[in-house]
Every structure is written in C-alpha cells, then in structure tokens.
Chain A
Amino acid sequence: MYLGPLLDGLATTAKHLVKTVRGDGMTRQFPEERPQFGNPLIYRGVHRLNKDDQGRVKCVACFLCATACPAHCIDIIGTAAPWEDREKYPQSFVIDELRCIYCGMCEEACPVDAIELTSLFDLTGASREEMIFDKEKLLSVYDATIEQEPMRSRRAAAESQAGE
C-alpha cells in the first residue's frame, strides 16, 4: 500500500542525486564558492561610511541615522569640524554590528549619503568588542568595497552626471 509513495520519494532523491553529480544542484561549496547576488547594490550587509572627494568622512553628525535606527545601535559624538568648508563632523561614530538588524533605515535617513550598507554578508568575529565598529573601521569598509560597489545614491549619481 505504501510502496507507491515510497518509490515517488526515492525518485525525487534520485533526481537530485543526478543533478548534484552533474553540478547544477542547490548545494554551494561556501566559502570556497561565493554566492552570486542578483544585485549586490541593494543587499543590506555591513555598513560603510563614505568619504567625500577629499577623502574625509562624509558624515555631518546630524544623528538622523541614530534617530531612525530601530535597534539603537548607532552611537555618535558630534563636534565642530576642523575644516574650513565643513561645519560639523563626527568625532566618534560607532555601530554595534551585533545589535544591528540590517534594516537599512540609517541609509534611508542619511541626508548626505554618508552611510551605506554593503553586500558583505558573512561578518564574523571572535568577540563582542570586535563587532563594535568605530569610525576608522567603517571608513576602511568603504576603502575595501568602493571598487566593486560605487556610491549608489541618487545624489552621487546626479553629481557625477553634472560633472560629466
């Protein structure tokens, strides 16, 4: 009585076995084999702090990301900027990556497109302290990812268009 469904099940197993042997199965050999995103530009992974054209942190310490953040994981200390053409900048900018829920609200709230989420998804660390990213670390994420993922804001696009 159960023989029919049993054979059905075995058939499915055999189908997947053939697929996997032929190399087009679902299993990926992570981390040797990296997954491909449809569009890495809209992935919500580790944050980065963008730099302006002079290599300074773009952030103006307006606290709007900290205000929008539902997980309260962003901690900013603002102060007067040391540069002539800028008024305010973050003396310290800390994100607790463990507390973050990667919702992307900070990116939405930012009026100067200074904070963006990258497609780095496999963030790991050996301690909690290691996962609290300060300004330098967030800027280094920018350096590491800017080649593959250009600043993707409308504003940045408009600026580059105006430049052309």
Chain B
Amino acid sequence: MATITVDGQEIQIDDSERLNLIQAADRAGVSIPFYCWHPGLSVVASCRMCLVETGTKNKETGEVTMMPKLVPGCQTPAKDGTVIVTNSAKVRANQNFVQEGILLDHPVDCPICDQAGECWLQDYYFKHGHQERRADVRPFTSKRREMGPHVTLFADRCVMCSRCVRFTREVSGGGELQIVDRGSHAEIDIFPGYPLADQMSGNTNDICPVGALCSTDFLYQQRVWFLDAQDSVCSRCSTGCSVQLHVQQNKLYRIQPRYNPNANDWWMCDIGRYENDYVSAPERLTSIKQRTGDKFADLLWPEGLRAIHEALTGVAAKNGGERLVFVLSPFLTCEEAYLLATYARTIAPTVQLALGKVPVVGQDEKFKSGFTIRAERCPNRRGVEEVLRHFQGSILDWDGLVKKTTAGEFTGVYLTANYPGPWIDEAEVAAFERVDLLVVQDILPSPLARKAQYVVPGVTAVEKDGSYVNHAGLLQTTTWGIRPAEGAHVDGQTFADLLARKGLYQADAVLAELAGAIGFFARASGGVPEAGLNLVTGTEKSPKTTALGTVTHPLPTFRSVASEMLEVE
C-alpha cells in the first residue's frame, strides 16, 4: 500500500493503482478543480487550473521536501510518500488567476447558454473565483456554427481545454476537430468539407466543460435544472451502454452516458443518444385491438387479456401445446422473458418457445479507443437465450421459426416485438399468413400487426424497469424514465396479468425469482450493482476502483440552483 498525504490527511492506495494527484486527492474527499483533464483522454496539462503544491515525505525521518513551484495535478503521479497541498494561499491564488484569465475572454451569456447549471466554469467561479474583473476588455463574440449534424460550436465560450480535439483523435479516431490560429485567436474548428459526423460526435458535447460545444438536438429545448435524471441502459445495441435519461414532465429531453468501466466507459453512440423519436411517435400502439375482417376494434385491458388467454388455451387444447409457439423478442428484459415463458408453460408443458428476430445492421463498428457499436441492434439476446435454454434446452431461432411456421407446424403464435423501427419484411410476414391465431405485441404498427387477430401494445426501453444481459454477459438493471404511452401497459405487467398474478409488477422481485430459478442468473439474487454483474466471467470492475469516473457534470436540481443563488446573496 502506498501512503499519500492530502492536506494533512493520510490515505492508502493500492500499489497497482496508477493515480494522478487529482484522483488521489479525490480519494481523500478533496476535489482539485480542472478543465482540460479527463480520465478517458491523454493529459495535456494546459488549463493550469489543477496546479497544486506537492512534495515527498521521507519514510524514516518524516521530513517533507516540497517542490518549489506549483505542479499540475493531472500530470503528476501519486506515489508512496507523496504529499499534496490543495488549500494553501499559493494554490488558491493560482486558481483565482486562472479563473480570472479564462473569464477575460468569456462572454458571460449564461442566461442564453445551454450549459448554464452544469457548467464547470460557473461552479469553479463560485468555489475558486469571485475575483473582481480587473481588465476592461470586451470578450469577442461570434455566431454559433455547426461542427456536424449533432454538434454546435459557440467559439466565444471556448476555454481551449482541447478535450474535444483529443476525443476525436484518441477515442473516436476521426480527428475532425482542430485548434486553428494561435494565442488569443485560437478556435476549435473543422476542415472545410469534413464535418464531425461520425457516430460518436455527441460525446464532445458531454465532455466540453463549458458551453462551447452544445448538442444541436437539445439546443434551447430546456434548462438543465428542470430535468430529472434516471439511470438506465441503452437498448439500441448489445453493448448496453449505461445511460442517464434526462426527463421533465414525462418528456424525454436527452440521453447521456453514465460511466461504466464494464460496458461503455464514459461514452455512448449517437444512435442511442439521438434516435429516440419512436418513443413519442404518434402512431404508437396504445390499446389491445381485436381484428375482424379488415377492421380492428379496441378492447379494454381485462377483457382483451381474457380473450387472448382463452384463444391461446383454445389453440393448445385443439391442436396440442406443441403447435402453439411464443416468440420472445430480444427487446424484452430478462424478467419479462421469464414471465412470458412461465406463462407459456402454464398453458401446456409442451408449448414451444422461440427467440424473436435479432436485428443485425452491417458490421460491428469499432472505434479507436475500443468502444464498439455492435451490429446486433438489440439489448438482450443473451438474456432471452438463457431463459429459453432453461425452459426448453435448445433455442429455436427466428429463421427456424419462419421455416417451421411456413411449413404449417404452428397454428398459434404469440409474438413479442417492441422494435424501434420497421423490422419485418414481406416474405417473413407471408410465413404467418396460415397461422390460425396470431397475437402480436409491439410498440409501432407493422405489416405483421395488420395480419394479427390480436394486437397488444408494448412499451419502449425508456418506459420500463428490468435487466438486460449484454454481448459480454454483463447484467445491468434499467429503470423507467417516462411513463408508457397513454393506454399502453408495461410488458411485465401484461405478462403478470396473463399469469393472473396479483398486484403490480415489480422487476426486482421477479429478478430475485429468476435468480433462484435459473442458474445463469444466480449471482443476481443479491441485487445488481450500478456497474452491472458479469454473469459469464463472474468478475467485474467497480466504478469506485477507478477514481473520478463520473466527470460528466451531475445534473443540478432546482433546489441546488436556488440554494446556490441564496448562498451568493
């Protein structure tokens, strides 16, 4: 163990840990301010905000030898005997000067800046600034301009930390952003004709410590202190990025990545971040529908579920359980898959179970840092497969299902879909033409739903609780951010109602039940930590072991903004 002294307080860190002074001080609960440093990027030590006093303590004599000058905390490694002083007059004076220097050039347009409320410049001004403005220069102003489809630059607000530039060079690898010109004329820019248009561009908005890079999609939509954050998991590919849903009054305003060393580090892709229109699409299915001829009639939930239950048991009684198949979509959570499979087997023990269509788009897209957008565009293929394996031993996949259905092997199909976009082609729809009873559970109308006898509304991933198993076997829990589209029920509730279980569906209770029933999920019996549980390898990193993982600004609450206002008074 290495002993480090932070402002007189001694802490122990592991010998294997390679921490800089910012991270070491954070372990002791002391926060050193910084702009340019980011744990996911290389160190440039250019902002000078994290300068601290440091020295070495002699183990034998206990004598402390200090370095004569201030050193950047981000660039200096913490080793056994390191002494860090963050609260001396010298350090404070430097922080004041750096703040003052940055603010000389900064337009104080906080009222119209989207970053206000989650701006490090604002925070550090309150904590380390409060300097009188001594220079009478007018900051230059410039109009906003687009860096790419999702990124807007306000060049006048930039503090030249170069995080975004390093991000495009080191993480996404495109290298689109540069610093052009020098000195006080320096600006972030792109080469003409080469916009920042890759699938990682949205991350530059997150890592910008000030309001220079703003999300074009979120621009002026809402002030951040009105938003509530909900920890969730992205459902758009099998990487399963940990995300935060930012919502207000049941509207999803934006999605930001949440640090998870087991899944996505600090990043997420623009597909998961921005392609969410389907959640609020006006054509969302919101009631149980029964088809007679070409017409669909709405049914109330209790009578609709009763009719579906009777129809399913009717098929099983008439033709035998093996001619009824339940299709479990990879968009279902593990809990929902478990409940639906349990329900299927209560109808008849021979009822067949199949894996729904696994949407695959192109190839895995791997970026320079290793972050990958998986070709498999669904969150929970592995989890559903494990449930199927438990109930049935073997897995009937989508192609097999289509083949068997075309051959007329199934007369009843209960199909869950919940895909965020069009997912089925005409040939596959044709396979289900000869099925006597087709029940489709989906969030959006599809050609298949038009053929169904019953249509059950499902809910999107941002509207439900549950857990997913990603491509590597990482089990993560997700919580709902917004309520289901009016009229729709959470899928888990629908299945619990079909099973005639009493009370409200609670995902964590079902997960505990699932962990007891299926060996693969056994580790989840004690709950799932924030960074997930790897059910395949049995080990995972905890975000605590890598200090300062979450450098994205915590969302300010309405109350914190108000109390800060009062404190300043």
Contacts and interface: CB of A to CB of B under 8 A. Distances in A.
Interface of A: 60-64, 67, 78-80, 84, 87-88, 111-112
16 contacts: A60-B112, A61-B112, A62-B110, A62-B111, A62-B116, A62-B223, A63-B223, A63-B226, A67-B223, A67-B558, A78-B221, A80-B219, A84-B143, A87-B112, A88-B112, A112-B111
A87 B223 contact: no
A78 B111 CA distance: 12
Contact of B561 (A60, A67, A112): A67
B562 A67 contact: yes
Given A62-B110, A62-B111, 5 more contacts: A63-B223, A67-B226, A80-B220, A84-B143, A112-B111
Interface in B69-127: 109-112, 116
A79 B558 contact: no
B220 A79 contact: yes
Contacts of B226: 63, 67
A80 B144 CA distance: 10
A87 B144 contact: yes
B561 A62 contact: no
Interface in B274-297: none
Given A61-B112, A67-B562, A88 B220 contact: yes
A78 B220 contact: yes
A133 B225 CA distance: 25
A40 B341 CA distance: 73
Contacts of A88: 112, 220
Contacts of B219: 80
Interface residues of B, number: 16
Contacts of A61: 112, 220
A62 B109 CA distance: 10
A62 B117 CA distance: 12
B111 A60 contact: yes
A92 B561 CA distance: 24
- State the 9 A-B residue pairs at the shortest beta-carbon distance, nearest first: A62-B111, A88-B112, A63-B223, A78-B220, A111-B111, A60-B112, A87-B112, A60-B111, A79-B220
A62 B226 CA distance: 12
A71 B558 CA distance: 14
B228 to A, nearest CB: 15
B567 to A, nearest CB: 15
Secondary structure type dominating chain A contacts: loop
Contacts of B558: 67
A87 B225 contact: no
A78 B218 CA distance: 11
A84 B109 CA distance: 16
Interface in B187-223: 219-221, 223
Contacts of A67: 223, 225-226, 558, 561-562
Q: Which of B111, B221, B225 has the most CB of A within 10 A?
A: B111
Contacts of A79: 220
B136 to A, nearest CB: 15
Contacts of A62: 110-112, 116, 223
B439 to A, nearest CB: 41
Contacts of B225: 67
A67 B144 CA distance: 26
Nearest to B225: A67
Contacts of B116: 62
A111 B220 CA distance: 17
A43 to B, nearest CB: 25
Contacts of B110: 62
Nearest to B220: A78
Nearest to B154: A87
A3 to B, nearest CB: 60
A48 to B, nearest CB: 19
B109 A87 contact: yes
Contacts of A80: 219-220
A2 B111 CA distance: 69
Contact of A64 (B109, B111, B144, B220): B111
A67 B225 CA distance: 9
B356 to A, nearest CB: 40
A67 B248 CA distance: 14
B227 to A, nearest CB: 12
Q: Which of A61, A67, A111 has the most chain B CB within a 10 Å cutoff?
A: A67
A140 B116 CA distance: 31
A102 B280 CA distance: 36
A87 B157 CA distance: 13
B141 to A, nearest CB: 9
A56 B349 CA distance: 72
B344 to A, nearest CB: 47
Contacts of B112: 60-62, 87-88
A68 to B, nearest CB: 8
A63 B110 CA distance: 11
Contacts of A64: 111
Contacts of A111: 111
A14 to B, nearest CB: 54
Contacts of A63: 223, 226
A79 B218 CA distance: 10
A79 B225 CA distance: 17
Interface in B437-494: none
A84 B141 CA distance: 12
Contacts of A84: 143
